[in-house]
Amino acid sequence: MTVHNNEISEKFSRFADLIEIQGGNPFRARAYREASRVIGDTSEQVDQMVKEGRNLTELKGIGGDLAGKIKEIVETGHLQLLDEMENEIPASLLELMNIPDLGPKRIAMMHRELGIDSMEDLKKALEDGKISSLKGFGKKTEQKIFTSISRPKKETGKRFLYVDAAPSALACKQYLEKRADTNKVDIAGSFRRGKETVGDLDILVTCRNGSEKDIMDAFVSFDEVVHVYEKGDTKSSVLLRNELQVDIRIVSDDSYGAAMHYFTGSKAHNIAVRKLAVRKKYKINEYGVFEGSRQIAGKTEKEVYEAVGLSYIEPELRENLGEIEASREKRLPRLIEEKDIRGDLHMHTTRTDGRNTLHEMAVAAKELGYEYIAVTEHSQKVAMAGGLNEKDLREYLTYIDAANDEIDGITILKGIEVDILQDGTLDLPDSVLRELDIVIGSVHYHQRFPARQQTDRIIRAMDNPYLQILGHPTGRLLNKRDAMEIDLEKIIRAAKEKNVVIELNSQPDRLDLPHNYCKFAADLGVKIVISTDAHSKEGFRFMKNGIREARRGWLEKEDVVNTRSLGSMRELVKR
């Protein structure tokens, strides 16, 4: 397990904050803050130092006690004292840390002098003008705090990874579902379309008996809600603790399908559907499909589609990328499902940067019902992750043989994720690649070449007859790093010609191959492998993300090699 310096640094800085909020020893807080800075700045990889047993007090400002704490973080991923303190201090008080003009010292003072424990308390104290009476605050600061907490945060434009929004979506849904006065509760919007990132959640609810107002009252007082932008009887908009915005609407049962359709979007899809309705002289909106003033559809989505001459379209396809035409012409794809998957061909174990052993991974995959996996460690170039050279790899292959003998009911294939070097050659000699079952080639370094050079580099790598799968083809990291500048269509056409399979990497911040290129590839007849790139057995669960992206990319079971039995999958990835 790699623990980055900034993770250690952040833990120490957080710890210093909490000491200050609790009004603890200021020297202790300062020592942690200083340590946080030192570790953030050092060019040494601190976790490496720990692993090599080096003396951490070599680092300026790090004494024996801090060295012990660093060791604890590197070895366990946690700082127990910090975890304890996080639990001790009320969450509502910690939340005040998100307000721009409030640092831990100020929060401590407000808490001590005015008993402020939450956003509510703070608002009240501001209204009563009590904040400016505190030492070191003043009228100006009071005003600044007031504006920053009254300003809605929704303009920040921050998008959440699907997986980061999912727990909130589930929590809101369950909270509403368990009420006796709600009937249907569903999440619409980009979340339902399975988009890689979501801007906000859109929840639709129908009322069973009782009043809409009660449901709204209950929702805005949900524990996770920290700010209410707007509250009405049938529509409200709130901000959750994690800064995710939620729009909620209560609709009638008769309009439920129309509302689900409208609020699922996408906007482009809605506009295209509306055009069809207009052609038939119908009106369509979130309440239903109307002929004059008579509602002719709206209870279910299927009804809505049928009213305009279409068959039901799966949410993942609703981007106006051809699904309307395909629906009309009855040639919608039969989208792949998670249960179609029979194995996983990209994963790492403790031999490089994974957290579970080969044995643990194989057993976990078998429990998922998989028929085969391929272990694909990094190659030597990826030194940070402990990548394997030829000798290491050969040794590891015998280890895989032994594991295969030991574990029944699943086949462990010998693989590698070999680095594509800057000139397009591969990081390991053909003599060893030849002995493997699965060779993934991936770019990890030099991602900023100009488009021509980068495209040529990747196509050159695919010229190597042992490369079977092109790994995470664009290199994008959602919200973090843009895709490489490449001519991806050219690369996919080259894959077609050379019979290379393209990976759809299921890591929630990768989802790489992006959906529109999945469709492009499948239309050309290029095969896709949906892989998790799991770094632990828990990582297998990311398959869901890949499936979602594949569905957005119109993929069917037949387009994806790891829906096949072992024999026919191997036939497909063979060059």
As beta bridge partners, residue 376 has 415
Q: Which does 162 bind (CB under 5 to 8 A by kind): Ca ion, ligand DGT, Zn ion, none?
A: none
Torsion 535-541-543-546 (CA) sign: negative
Q: Cα separation of 397 and 414, whole Å? A: 7
What is the pattern of x (binds Zn ion, CB under 5 A) and - over residues 441-480?
-x--------------------------------------
- Count residues binding Zn ion (CB under 5 A): 1
Beta-carbon neighbour count of residue 174 at 10 Å? 10
- Shortest CA distance to 280 belongs to which of 312, 310, 301, 322? 310
Contacts with 387 (C-beta within 8 Å, 6 or more apart), sequence order: 352, 377, 378, 379, 380, 381, 419, 427
131-140 long-range Cβ contacts below 8 angstroms, 24+ apart: 134/109, 134/110, 135/109, 136/106, 136/109, 137/106
Q: Whole-number minimum distance, CB 310 to ligand DGT, in Å?
A: 16
Q: Which does 257 bind (CB under 5 to 8 A by kind): Zn ion, ligand DGT, Ca ion, none?
A: none
Identify which of residues 215 and 458 has a Cβ nearer to Zn ion in the complex. 458
What is the pattern of x (binds Ca ion, CB under 5 A) and - over residues 244-263?
---x----------------
Q: Whole-number minimum distance, CB 185 to ligand DGT, in Å?
A: 16
> If binding is defined by CB under 6 A, does position 189 make contact with ligand DGT?
yes
Q: Cα separation of 259 and 261, whole Å? A: 5
572 token code pair: 């497909």
Identify which of residues 249 and 378 has a Cβ nearer to Zn ion in the complex. 378
Residue with tokens 């919608």, as numbered in its chain: 332
> What is the b/e burial string over 392-403, where b = at least 16 CB atoms within 10 angstroms of the residue's CB?
bbeebbebbeeb
Q: Which does 255 bind (CB under 5 to 8 A by kind): ligand DGT, Ca ion, Zn ion, none?
A: none
> If binding is defined by CB under 6 A, does position 198 make contact with ligand DGT?
yes
Identify which of residues 74 and 502 has a Cβ nearer to Zn ion in the complex. 502
Q: Cα separation of 507 and 564, whole Å? A: 22
Q: Which does 271 bind (CB under 5 to 8 A by kind): ligand DGT, Zn ion, Ca ion, none?
A: ligand DGT
Residues in the chain: 575
Q: Whole-number minimum distance, CB 330 to ligand DGT, in Å?
A: 25
Stretch that binds Ca ion, among 187-195, 221-229, 376-384, 418-426 (CB under 5 A): 187-195
322 token code pair: 């051809």
- Shortest CA distance to 457 belongs to which of 424, 425, 427, 435? 424
> If binding is defined by CB under 6 A, does position 236 make contact with ligand DGT?
no
Q: Cα separation of 416 and 408, whole Å? A: 22
Q: Whole-number minimum distance, CB 486 to ligand DGT, in Å?
A: 26
- Shortest CA distance to 534 belongs to which of 508, 513, 559? 508
CA–CA distance from 548 to each of 64, 202, 447 (Å)? 49, 19, 26
Q: Cα separation of 434 and 113, whole Å? A: 72
Q: Which does 263 bind (CB under 5 to 8 A by kind): Ca ion, Zn ion, ligand DGT, none?
A: ligand DGT
Q: Which does 548 bind (CB under 5 to 8 A by kind): Zn ion, Ca ion, ligand DGT, none?
A: none
Q: Whole-number minimum distance, CB 190 to ligand DGT, in Å?
A: 3
432 token code pair: 């060893």
Identify which of residues 137 and 160 has a Cβ nearer to ligand DGT in the complex. 160
Stretch that binds ligand DGT, among 188-196, 219-227, 302-310, 464-472 (CB under 6 A): 188-196
496 token code pair: 């077609």
- Count residues binding ligand DGT (CB under 6 A): 14
Q: Cα separation of 415 and 434, whole Å? A: 11
Which listed residue (104, 189, 315, 539) binds Ca ion by CB under 5 A?
Answer: 189
Which listed residue (182, 190, 350, 356) binds ligand DGT by CB under 6 A?
Answer: 190
Footprint on residues 262-321 left by ligand DGT (CB under 6 A): 262-263, 265-267, 270-271
Q: Whole-number minimum distance, CB 448 to Zn ion, in Å?
A: 17
Element at 240 (helix H, strand E): strand 235-240
> If binding is defined by CB under 6 A, does position 437 make contact with ligand DGT?
no
> If binding is defined by CB under 6 A, does position 200 make contact with ligand DGT?
yes
Q: Residues in the site for ligand DGT, rule: CB under 6 A?
A: 189-190, 195, 198-200, 202, 262-263, 265-267, 270-271
Q: Residues in the site for Zn ion, rule: CB under 5 A?
A: 442
Q: Residues in the site for Ca ion, rule: CB under 5 A?
A: 189-190, 200, 202, 247
